[in-house]
Structure 1
Amino acid sequence: MTKSDIILPISDKRNLHQNRAIRIGFLLIDGFALMSYASLVEAFRAANVLSGRTLYEWKHISVREAFVNASNGARFRADAQIDDTLALDLLLVCAAGNPALFRDKRTFARLRYQASRKMRIGGVSGGPYILARAGLLDGYRCTIHWEHRPAFIEAFPQLDVQQGLYVIDRDRLTCAGGIAGLDLATALIAENHGRQLATMVNDWFLQTQLREAHATQRVSLRERYKSTNEKILATLAAMEANLEEPLSRAALARRNQVSVRQLERLFRSNLRQTIGTTYMRIRLTRAAILLKESSIPLVDIALASGFASASHFSRAFKRWHGTPPRALRNAMNKQR
């Protein structure tokens, strides 16, 4: 199939500028996730190629630098800076690493200014964290990458955080990042120019279906733990849902209508671990994410992970990860 085979009509559902391309700005925060950015921009490029028209144009925007580094070290030349006059239909903030460390007040102010002018604004991967810090997600549904999610919820408990791939809520867009950028881009292409073109873009990138916004970000517990035992899976789900106030072994067993001894046997035979070891691993994995992805005080991370004191948390963390929590956070900060 060639682009000359598929000149498509343009829908007027959302695109009010049928005589010109939709203008997109990518605000690239230093260290932004390259995969997340690429899955978006390549989808828009494909829409241009497959339609035989310039449906989308884009530019790269920086905070103040002439060049911005991606997560893999690749350098992008900025076409504009956030302080410049931006004639855009959509501005997408791309970030990664620990977006909680981004505190540029001028950028937050400029984002609020653009929002006040009714510009459509989105955040990708760690980008929703920056939108939230600017106060642009209050009253909106949103999502964020699952790795950032615990810290995000701790920092912004007032927000309505969904678990899907992306959320489009009026003039705010948020995307979990990774290849979910392709899902968001194809949703926008379908909105602007029809589902036929969006499906063709998806097909071009070997995606077998258009994934819906609410599709899960992570593989299922069944796949993650390689277990098909329903009582094991139900117990693991209960553990992940109760981290701040861990459930006792007896409470977990009652939920599955088995004895503690029976549940322990199931865990040992299926996962080769005890209930307590599995639960501790889940809690300390969350703690490690909070340490890496947020600036939340250690005592608050301890409480969020189900520990009554910072000292108990530090001892358990060091036994499990081989390093104290403060040392891990300091090491991560030095890498940024």
Structure 2
Amino acid sequence: MSKYDGKGSKNDEARVHRVGFLLIPGFALMSYASAAEPLRAANALSGRTFYRWRHIAIRGTDIQASNGVRIPADDTIGSAARVDSIVVCAGGNPATFSHLPTLSYLRSAARHGVRLIGVSAGPFILAQAGLLDGYRCTIHWEHMPAFTETFPTLPLSRSLFEIDRDRFTCAGGIAALDMMHAMIRIDYGTRLASAVSDWFLQTEVRRGEAAQRLSPAERFGVHHPKLVDTMLRMEKRIERPLAPSDLARLADLSLRQLERLFAQYLGTTIHRRYLQIRLEHARGLLRQSTLAIGEVALATGFATPMHFARCYRRRFGLAPREERTAR
């Protein structure tokens, strides 16, 4: 593969890299744009066509994004020409995606050595096709609870993106810009990748292992270290919640001291905050997985579906079953 020399010169031996954007209905438009626009920039800045791309639909003549924007399809999975990379862009609830021809199309592409890239919820679909077995991968944090429940043996990370041989996975959003910097660097060299990032005003190109979310102190809105550590423990112990006395012991505080911190900084109790964390996790599973409601209850530390449903309705104003059918 040729390298861009940073001076606008051309190497006639360069091979055009053909990219197919497989857009799943309801895909996240920002994730798609963050992955597609760097390819256009690479061509513009190099003065030659390093990348060509087409939009592939699973059916029909156009594909609607999550915000209603429609992108015309150049091909469908049944008629798509050979490409070098496929970028699977998805959103919504990928756990409910069930389209065997799409999974077969991706498996066929993998057998022919096509680079497979999952963006936002795209890694979920690659995993459904069995194409992430044995590969490091990541996915948007919103989809992580459902992903780990559905694919418990896959080595999922919480990073912005993962590149493992010919599998690229990305959390989505603007993180796709960072991943495409890495891809362009692999394909055509560091100078072109840096020029593209500079064009998009990226004053800092984040490495793949960077965290997806704000720091815990920023996310929780508190800066007391023991309180932050306690809430992180709560998030990690959802299925088997720790007792308040155990949380206090692990924080090297008395139960009264820990309760005082929750009241002072959060205006609530340990029990209420823990319940809120578990119910938010349950809401994500209801929206992003196909787990039965009883399974969601067990996965979030509730002894019975009835108790879970009662707490859920009190928190969100609707029953778990209604939450699922409302999406």
- The correspondence for 1:131, drawn from 126, 130, 149, is 126
- The correspondence for 1:148, drawn from 132, 139, 143, is 143
What SS class does the counterpart of residue 141 from structure 2 fall into? coil
Q: Matched residues in 2 for 1:18 and 1:237: separation?
A: 52
Kindly report which structure 2 residues correspond to 1:99-118, keeping only aligned pairs within 5 A, or say none: 99-118=94-113
Structure 1: which 5+ residue stretches go unaligned? Answer: 11-16
- The correspondence for 1:187, drawn from 179, 182, 203, is 182
TM-score relative to the length of structure 1: 0.93
Residue in structure 1 matched with residue 16 of structure 2 by the alignment: 21
Q: Matched residues in 2 for 1:240 and 1:81: separation?
A: 42
Change (3 A) 1:85 1:77: closer
TM-score relative to the length of structure 2: 0.95
Q: Matched residues in 1 for 2:151 and 2:9: separation?
A: 43
2:169 partner letter: T
Off by >4 Å, runs of 4+ in structure 1: none
1:294 partner letter: S
- The correspondence for 2:322, drawn from 322, 327, 331, is 327
2:281 partner letter: R
Pairwise CA distance, 1:8: 5.8
1:277 paired with 2:278, answer: no
- The correspondence for 1:312, drawn from 284, 307, 327, is 307
1:72 paired with 2:72, answer: no
Kindly report which structure 2 residues correspond to 1:1-336, keeping only aligned pairs within 5 A, or say none: 6-7=7-8, 18-332=13-327
Q: Matched residues in 2 for 1:197 and 1:306: separation?
A: 50
Pairwise CA distance, 1:241: 0.7
Give the superposed CA RMSD: 1.6
Pairwise CA distance, 1:9: 7.2
What SS class does the counterpart of residue 148 from structure 1 fall into? helix
- What fraction of aligned residue pairs are identical, expressed as a percent? 50
Deviation larger for 190-199 or 206-215: 190-199
Native 8 Å contact 1:6 1:50 kept in 2: no
What SS class does the counterpart of residue 228 from structure 1 fall into? coil
Q: Deviations over 1:118-167 (max 9, x none)?
A: 11111111111111111111111111100011001101111111110111
What SS class does the counterpart of residue 276 from structure 2 fall into? helix
Residue in structure 2 matched with residue 14 of structure 1 by the alignment: none
The count of aligned residue pairs is 323
Q: Deviations over 1:246-275 (max 9, x none)?
A: 001011011111100000111111111111
What SS class does the counterpart of residue 89 from structure 2 fall into? strand
Q: Matched residues in 1 for 2:166 and 2:81: separation?
A: 17
2:177 partner letter: L
Native 8 Å contact 2:89 2:118 kept in 1: yes
Native 8 Å contact 2:57 2:73 kept in 1: yes
Native 8 Å contact 1:9 1:193 kept in 2: no
Structure 2: which 5+ residue stretches go unaligned? Answer: 1-5
